Structure 1
Amino acid sequence: MAEPLMKLSGVHADIGQYHILHGVDLELPRGELTVLLGRNGAGKSTTLRTIMGLTDVPRGRVEFKGEDITGWPTPRIARSGIAFVPEDMGIFQLLSVRENLDLAAASGPIDKERLEWVFGLFPALKKFWQTDAGNLSGGQKQMLAIARAIIEPRELLLVDEPTKGLAPSIINDLRDAFRELKDQEATILLVEQNFNFARALGQTVAVMDDGRVVHAGSMAALAEDDALQQDLLGLSLGAHQ
C-alpha cells in the first residue's frame, strides 16, 4: 500500500488543564476524502487543531509526507501545504470577499485561472466580490472559508463541520464542490455531523470516542452495517437519508 499523506501515532493533546486526546492513531490516504465521525466531545475538532499545531502535544507523533511535524508552529505547518477551515470559519468579517482571498494567497497575486475555478465551485463569491464578508449569508461565509483554503493548491485540506446550521440547498452546493475537489484527487479530512453528507462524500472513515480512534475503514462498509453504526455512533446512517 502507498504511504499515507499524513499519519498520527499515539497522539495525546491538552487544552489548558484538560487532556482531550488519549493516543490517536490515524492515517490519511493520499487523494482520498476521509470523514472523522463521533459523538459530541469525542475529540474530532481537537484532532484537526492538533494537526495544525494549535494544541499542546505532550506525547505522540504527527507525520506529513513522512516528516515529523509535531511541535511545528502553525504558520510553518500551513506553509508546508496544509489548509484548515475551522468550525467558526475564520474569515475576516470587515474585509471584502476579494480582500479575504487576497490575504489567503500568500505566495503573491491570485492566479486568475485558479480564481475562475473557485468561482465555478462557488458562483456567489463572484457576485459578492466587493461585499464585506460580514454581510454574507451563513452559507456564503462557509463558501468563502473553503475558498480561502483552496485559493492556492494545497496537499491536505482539513474542514471542521462545514454544513453546520446551513440550509439544505447550500449543503447540496457544498457537496458538489467537495465532489469536484475529490475528482482532482485532493486529500481531505472532514469532520461532519451530517451523516448523509458524510456518507455521500467519504471514501474512508474514522470514528472517535473519548479521545481515541475506535474504528477505521471504508465508508461504504460502515454505511452497509447498521449494527456497527449503532455500536459506534448510537444511531443508523440510514435514518439520516
Structure 2
Amino acid sequence: MNAPLSPLLSLEDVHTHIGAYHILHGVDLDVPRGQLTMLLGRNGAGKTTTLRTIMGLWQASQGRVSFDGQDLTGKSTPDVAALGIAYVPENMGIFADLSVKENMLLAARSARRIEDIDTTRLEWIFSLFPAIKKFWLHPAGKLSGGQKQMLAVSRAIVEPRKLLLIDEPSKGLAPAIIANMIAAFRELKQTDTTILLVEQNFNFARQLGDTVAVMDDGKVVHRGSMAELAEDEALQTRLLGLSLTAHQ
C-alpha cells in the first residue's frame, strides 16, 4: 500500500471573518502534492472564501495556512503569489482593455518583454488553448466567455507554478469548451502541478479530481478520494443534495 502523499498546502482550524460575518468556521484541509483536489459544496458553503483566504485576499482571523513548509498566515497577496501560487478567480481577473498578448505578459512575473517568456511553454499553452494563439493581438474584452476562461487559466500557467487555485472554471461554458478545459487540466496534471479547484459541475469534478473535500457551512465535512465519492450516490446526496450520475 502506497504511503499517502505529503500535503503541499494545509489549512488548520482556519476561521475567516468578513466584516461582521463569520464565514469560515474552522476549516481543516490538506491538498496533496502533485494531485488535483476538488473543493465541492453548495452555494455559500465557503469555497471561494477558502481560496481567497489562502491567497491572502482575506486574512484568517484564527488558525494556520501552511504551504510547502512555510506559514502563509498573515502574508500579503503579492508575497503569497511570489511563492509560486496562482489564483484564477470566478470572475477570471483578466484585463479587458488589454490584448491577449499583454494579459499574458503581465502575468509572467519574470518577463519584461514577450520575448522573455519561455517559447516552449508558450507553444504548450497554445496547444492546450488554440484560441489564445488565434486571438493573440485581440482585446481580451472581445473574447467569448469560454475564451476568457482559457485566457485566465493560461495567465495562471504562463510560468511554472507550484499550486493553482481555480474557482469554478466551467461555470457558464458550453459543453465543447468544458471538454477542452477538462483535456487541458488532464495535461496540466501530468506536469506535477498541484491544483485546488472549486467546481459546481459534478461531471467535471468526477473526471478530474484525485481527492475531494466537501464544504458545508464554513467547514470541511468530508474528505476522501474523488473516485469513491463518484461511486457512492447515497453519500453524494447526503453531502451535496444530488448525485453525480444525475448530472452527467
For normalisation by structure 1, the TM-score amounts to: 0.99
**Aligned partners of 1:183, 1:195: CA distance in 2, in Å?**
22
Which residue of the partner structure matches residue 88 of structure 2?
Answer: 85
Q: Does 1:142 align with 2:143?
A: no
Question: 1:122 is aligned with what amino acid?
Answer: F
Give the secondary structure class of the aligned counterpart of 2:110: coil
Query: Corresponding residue for 1:66?
Result: 69
CA shift for structure 1 position 239: 0.4
Which of residues 33, 40, 44 in structure 2 aligns to 1:37? 40
Residue 208 of structure 1: SS of its match in structure 2?
strand
- TM-score normalized by the length of structure 2: 0.96
SS in 2 for 1:87: coil
2:11 counterpart residue number:
8
Shift of 1:58: 1.1
- Where in structure 2 are the equivalents of 1:179-198 lying within 5 Å? 179-198=186-205
Letter in 1 for 2:68: K
Q: Which sits farther off after the overlay, 179-188 or 33-42?
A: 179-188
Identity %: 69
Q: How many residues align?
A: 241
Counterpart-to-counterpart distance in 2, 1:201 and 1:9: 25
Q: Deviations over 1:129-184 (max 9, x none)?
A: 00000000000000000000000000000000001111111000000000000111
Aligned to 2:222: 215
CA-to-aligned-CA distance 1:175-204 (integer Å, 9 cap, x gap): 000000011121000000000000000000
Residue 60 of structure 1 aligns with an amino acid whose one-letter code is: G
- For 1:175 and 1:145, locate their aligned partners in 2 and report how far apart those are by CA, in whole Å: 15
Query: Shift in Å at residue 2 of structure 1?
Result: 3.8
Q: 2 CA distance for matches of 1:170 and 1:72? A: 35
C-alpha RMSD of the superposition = 0.7
Among 150, 161, 172, the alignment partner of 1:154 is 161
- Distance in 2 between the 1:180 and 1:153 partners? 14
**Structure 1 equivalent of residue 170 of structure 2:** 163
**1:24 lines up with 2:31 in the alignment:** no
Residue of structure 2 aligned with 1:205, choices 203, 212, 223:
212
Please list every run of at least 4 consecutive aligned residues from structure 1 whose deviation after the TM superposition is greater than 3 angstroms.
Answer: none
